[in-house]
């Protein structure tokens, strides 16, 4: 009681870190990008940061400067800070290592969102939750795309695109 009274008198406000210990959420999303000076990533980050800020989240940017080693370090740092989400544009991590990292994150932190939904009283079917990279989910999505292709509702075709040598990607 004396500590609470002193906190009120001093108008103490707990920091975001202190609140995260109580709520088990950091309200932080981490970004790992290969080149922060790239106009492509700058625009994407600005849009994501604005959206996240409006939702009450902070952003933590990690520039790996086109280095796979720095990318791994950045991911480890963000995971150590227990961020609530990750947006990653991989350089040289490779699909297998990236998927391994995603599964590690999911197993350690993935249930937070469902806990938050339950606390809010969201009426969801918690028995049928799926993760984007679940094998069964991926197979179902592939089957559905094949179905749409056979119906003629989606198609593959050659199209003219622009290749950006600076970003090493296609732009449409």
pLDDT of res. 70: 83
For residue 147, name the pLDDT band (cuts at 50, 70, 90): very high
pTM, whole model, 2 decimals? 0.47
pLDDT of res. 60: 83
Indicate the DSSP class of residue 138.
H
Which of 8-12, 90-94, 154-158 has the highest mean predicted lDDT (pLDDT)?
Answer: 8-12
13-52 confidence digits (pLDDT tens): 776 666 666 667 778 888 888 877 777 777 778 888 888 8
For residue 4, name the pLDDT band (cuts at 50, 70, 90): confident
- Residue 28: strand, helix, or coil: strand
């Amino acid at each position: 009681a004396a500590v609470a009274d002193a906190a009120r008198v001093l108008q103490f406000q707990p920091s975001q870190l202190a609140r995260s210990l109580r709520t088990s959420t950091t309200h932080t999303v981490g970004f790992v990008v290969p080149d922060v000076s790239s106009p492509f990533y700058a625009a994407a980050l600005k849009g994501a940061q604005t959206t996240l800020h409006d939702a009450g989240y902070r952003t933590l940017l990690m520039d790996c400067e086109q280095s796979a080693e720095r990318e791994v370090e950045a991911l480890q740092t963000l995971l150590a800070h227990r961020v609530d989400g990750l947006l990653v544009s991989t350089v040289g991590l490779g699909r297998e290592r990236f998927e391994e990292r995603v599964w590690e994150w999911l197993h350690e932190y993935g249930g937070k969102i469902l806990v938050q939904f339950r606390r809010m009283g969201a009426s969801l079917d918690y028995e049928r939750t799926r993760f984007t990279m679940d094998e069964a989910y991926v197979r179902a999505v592939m089957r559905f795309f094949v179905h749409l292709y056979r119906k003629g509702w989606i198609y593959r075709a050659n199209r003219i695109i622009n290749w950006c040598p600076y970003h090493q990607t296609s732009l449409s």
